[in-house]
């Protein structure tokens, strides 16, 4: 089983989709953590692209522990979050704060069973901070992943966000894409 957590409108064939929002492809209408509907050691891969930053640091730690619980031994966690270091480069190049406010603070309106909800980013990451968090949660083999080399490369999500917009050949990747394994 492969999970796509916080998938929103994006569908990755062969993945189980988990999100709070109301979309027809959602397999489990739920938060990305906890995952009480999943057994220990039952998941091959957890993929979460630009949803992790909607958790505060305490929630993020709890989510990583939960995702580690459901991953099988040697299971893969693949994360994508806004890259603060890259966003600072954009600001330094342009001097335009407006260009980085969205990725930093995020604002997402979703329809839920309880009615409309507005979500905001609660934290931000650079490589060192996210790596430390993954390591503290018991993950190993932490490294970058290239969206072009994945089974979900055809899904244009924020793991493929560039500045200038859509310049995937020459632009600056604005997404910090790290993966780790459960020992």
What percentage of the chain reaches a pLDDT higher than 90? 94
How would residue 22 be classed by pLDDT, with cut points 50, 70 and 90? confident
| Non-local CB neighbours of 169 within 8 Å, separated by 6+ positions | none
Alpha-helical (H) ranges within the chain are 57-70, 84-94, 98-105, 127-136
Burial code (b: 16+ CB inside 10 Å, e: under 16) for 34-60 equals ebeebeeeebebbbbbbbbbbbeeebb
Whether 72 contacts 42, CB under 8 Å: yes
Global pTM? 0.96
Distance CA 102, CA 98 (A): 8
The string of pLDDT tens digits covering residues 96-143 is 999 999 999 999 998 877 889 899 999 999 999 999 999 999 999 999
Tell me the torsion sign for CA atoms 98, 10, 51, 141: negative
Q: Peptide bond before 34: cis, by omega within 30 degrees of 0?
A: yes
Inter-residue contact 51 to 5 (CB < 8 Å): yes
Do residues 9 and 23 make contact, with C-beta atoms less than 8 angstroms apart? yes
Query: Residue 78 has what pLDDT?
Result: 98
Q: At what angle are helices 84-94 and 98-105 packed, to 10 degrees? A: 170
What proportions of the chain, in percent to the nearest 5, are helix, strand and coil?
30, 30, 40
- Mean pLDDT taken over the chain: 96
The predicted-structure confidence for 78-100, as pLDDT tens digits, reads as follows 999 999 999 999 999 999 999 99
Please name the residues in contact with 50: beta carbons below 8 A apart, sequence gap of 6 or more.
Answer: 6, 80, 81, 82, 157, 158, 159, 175
Overall fold of domain 2-82+105-159+176-181: Rossmann fold (3.40.50)
């Amino acid at each position: 089983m492969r999970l796509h957590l916080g998938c929103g409108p994006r569908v990755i064939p062969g993945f189980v989709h988990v999100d709070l929002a109301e979309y027809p492809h959602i397999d489990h209408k739920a938060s990305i953590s906890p995952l009480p509907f999943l057994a220990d050691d039952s998941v091959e891969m957890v993929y979460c692209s630009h949803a992790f930053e909607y958790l505060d640091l305490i929630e993020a730690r709890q989510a990583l522990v939960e995702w580690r619980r459901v991953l099988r031994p040697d299971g893969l966690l693949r994360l994508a979050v806004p890259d603060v270091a890259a966003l600072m480069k954009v600001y330094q190049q342009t001097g335009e704060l407006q260009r980085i406010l969205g990725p930093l603070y995020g604002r997402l309106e979703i329809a839920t069973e309880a009615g409309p909800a507005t979500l905001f980013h609660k934290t931000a990451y650079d490589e060192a901070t996210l790596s430390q968090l993954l390591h503290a949660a018991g993950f190993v083999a932490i490294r970058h992943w290239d969206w072009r080399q994945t089974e979900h490369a055809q899904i244009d999500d924020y793991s493929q966000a560039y500045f200038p917009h859509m310049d995937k050949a020459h632009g600056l990747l604005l997404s910090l894409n790290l993966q780790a394994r459960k020992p």
